[in-house]
Amino acid sequence: MPLTRRDFAGIASCAICAVTGFIATDASAQGTPPAATPGVTRKILSQTDGPTPGYATIIVEAEIEAGVTVARHTHPGIESAYIIEGGLELPIEGQPTRALKPGDGFQVPPNTPHAGSKNGDKKTKIAITYVLEKGKPLASPA
Protein backbone atom coordinates (compact mmCIF):
# COMPACT_ATOMS: atom_id res chain seq x y z
CA MET A 1 0.00 0.00 0.00
CA PRO A 2 1.64 3.32 -1.01
CA LEU A 3 2.19 6.10 1.49
CA THR A 4 -0.38 8.85 1.08
CA ARG A 5 0.26 12.55 1.49
CA ARG A 6 -1.91 12.48 4.61
CA ASP A 7 0.11 9.58 6.08
CA PHE A 8 3.30 11.45 5.28
CA ALA A 9 2.15 14.72 6.82
CA GLY A 10 1.22 13.15 10.11
CA ILE A 11 4.38 11.27 10.74
CA ALA A 12 7.56 11.65 12.60
CA SER A 13 10.76 13.18 11.89
CA CYS A 14 14.23 12.87 12.84
CA ALA A 15 15.17 15.20 10.33
CA ILE A 16 18.42 14.79 8.65
CA CYS A 17 17.52 12.74 7.47
CA ALA A 18 15.44 15.44 7.66
CA VAL A 19 14.22 13.86 6.25
CA THR A 20 13.43 11.36 7.94
CA GLY A 21 10.28 12.61 9.30
CA PHE A 22 7.81 10.25 7.89
CA ILE A 23 7.12 6.62 8.24
CA ALA A 24 6.23 4.56 5.24
CA THR A 25 3.08 2.52 5.68
CA ASP A 26 4.81 -0.80 5.01
CA ALA A 27 7.76 0.19 7.21
CA SER A 28 5.77 1.70 10.05
CA ALA A 29 5.93 0.59 13.63
CA GLN A 30 3.00 0.04 15.88
CA GLY A 31 1.90 2.85 18.14
CA THR A 32 1.74 6.58 17.68
CA PRO A 33 4.54 8.19 15.69
CA PRO A 34 6.30 11.23 17.16
CA ALA A 35 5.27 14.70 16.00
CA ALA A 36 6.88 16.15 12.88
CA THR A 37 9.91 18.41 13.37
CA PRO A 38 9.03 22.09 12.85
CA GLY A 39 11.09 23.60 10.05
CA VAL A 40 11.57 20.29 8.25
CA THR A 41 9.59 19.27 5.17
CA ARG A 42 9.83 16.05 3.21
CA LYS A 43 8.60 14.84 -0.11
CA ILE A 44 8.55 11.16 -1.03
CA LEU A 45 9.88 10.82 -4.56
CA SER A 46 9.75 7.03 -4.81
CA GLN A 47 8.90 4.00 -2.69
CA THR A 48 9.25 0.34 -3.57
CA ASP A 49 9.58 -3.08 -1.98
CA GLY A 50 13.08 -4.55 -1.85
CA PRO A 51 15.94 -4.88 -2.55
CA THR A 52 15.22 -8.13 -0.71
CA PRO A 53 12.11 -9.54 0.96
CA GLY A 54 11.34 -7.77 4.22
CA TYR A 55 12.85 -4.44 3.13
CA ALA A 56 11.60 -1.25 1.46
CA THR A 57 13.52 1.46 -0.41
CA ILE A 58 12.28 5.02 -0.05
CA ILE A 59 13.70 8.08 -1.83
CA VAL A 60 12.97 11.43 -0.16
CA GLU A 61 13.71 15.08 -0.78
CA ALA A 62 14.07 16.89 2.55
CA GLU A 63 14.33 20.58 3.33
CA ILE A 64 15.58 21.95 6.66
CA GLU A 65 14.92 25.63 7.33
CA ALA A 66 17.84 27.79 8.50
CA GLY A 67 18.74 27.34 12.15
CA VAL A 68 16.74 24.11 12.66
CA THR A 69 18.45 21.34 14.62
CA VAL A 70 17.75 17.70 13.87
CA ALA A 71 17.54 15.67 17.09
CA ARG A 72 19.67 12.58 17.67
CA HIS A 73 17.97 9.52 16.18
CA THR A 74 18.48 6.13 14.46
CA HIS A 75 17.01 4.27 11.46
CA PRO A 76 16.34 0.50 11.11
CA GLY A 77 18.33 0.43 7.89
CA ILE A 78 20.90 2.37 5.92
CA GLU A 79 20.51 6.05 5.07
CA SER A 80 22.38 7.35 2.00
CA ALA A 81 22.15 11.07 1.28
CA TYR A 82 23.41 13.89 -0.92
CA ILE A 83 23.44 17.61 0.01
CA ILE A 84 21.79 19.57 -2.81
CA GLU A 85 21.98 23.03 -1.22
CA GLY A 86 22.83 24.60 2.12
CA GLY A 87 24.73 22.41 4.54
CA LEU A 88 24.92 21.13 8.10
CA GLU A 89 27.14 19.51 10.69
CA LEU A 90 26.58 15.76 10.93
CA PRO A 91 27.67 13.96 14.09
CA ILE A 92 27.44 10.16 13.61
CA GLU A 93 28.23 8.01 16.65
CA GLY A 94 31.72 6.53 16.41
CA GLN A 95 32.81 8.99 13.69
CA PRO A 96 34.15 12.55 13.72
CA THR A 97 31.53 15.26 13.09
CA ARG A 98 31.48 16.26 9.41
CA ALA A 99 30.66 19.69 8.01
CA LEU A 100 28.63 18.96 4.87
CA LYS A 101 28.12 21.31 1.92
CA PRO A 102 26.44 21.05 -1.50
CA GLY A 103 27.86 18.13 -3.45
CA ASP A 104 28.77 16.11 -0.35
CA GLY A 105 27.30 12.68 0.22
CA PHE A 106 27.07 10.60 3.37
CA GLN A 107 25.85 7.26 4.67
CA VAL A 108 24.63 6.35 8.13
CA PRO A 109 24.81 2.65 9.07
CA PRO A 110 21.67 0.95 10.41
CA ASN A 111 20.76 1.66 14.05
CA THR A 112 23.57 4.23 14.44
CA PRO A 113 22.73 7.40 16.42
CA HIS A 114 23.22 10.64 14.48
CA ALA A 115 21.87 14.22 14.35
CA GLY A 116 22.18 17.44 12.36
CA SER A 117 22.82 21.02 13.35
CA LYS A 118 24.27 24.40 12.50
CA ASN A 119 22.87 24.58 9.01
CA GLY A 120 23.51 28.33 9.10
CA ASP A 121 21.35 31.07 7.64
CA LYS A 122 20.30 29.14 4.53
CA LYS A 123 17.80 26.37 3.92
CA THR A 124 19.35 22.93 3.46
CA LYS A 125 18.00 20.56 0.80
CA ILE A 126 18.95 16.87 0.90
CA ALA A 127 18.17 13.89 -1.36
CA ILE A 128 17.96 10.75 0.78
CA THR A 129 17.57 7.04 0.08
CA TYR A 130 16.53 4.73 2.89
CA VAL A 131 16.69 0.93 2.70
CA LEU A 132 14.70 -0.14 5.75
CA GLU A 133 13.30 -3.22 7.39
CA LYS A 134 9.55 -3.35 6.92
CA GLY A 135 7.44 -3.17 10.07
CA LYS A 136 9.86 -0.86 11.88
CA PRO A 137 9.63 2.91 12.30
CA LEU A 138 11.63 5.02 9.88
CA ALA A 139 13.29 6.84 12.77
CA SER A 140 13.49 6.48 16.52
CA PRO A 141 14.91 8.93 19.09
CA ALA A 142 18.37 7.99 20.32
What b/e sequence results for 74-96 when a residue is b if at least 16 CB atoms lie within 10 Å of its CB, and e otherwise? bbbbbbebebeebbbebebeeee
CA distance 121 to 39: 13
pTM for the structure as a whole: 0.74
**Domain count along the chain:** 1
Residue 12 has pLDDT above 70, yes or no: no
Residues of the domain holding 101: 5-141
Lowest pLDDT segment from 33-42, 101-110, 111-120, 126-135: 33-42
Residue 75: CATH number of its domain: 2.60.120.10
> What is the average per-residue pLDDT within 8-29?
37
pLDDT band with cut points at 50, 70 and 90 for residue 137:
confident
pLDDT at 37 over 70: yes
The percentage of residues in the chain with a pLDDT greater than 90, rounded to a whole number, is 57
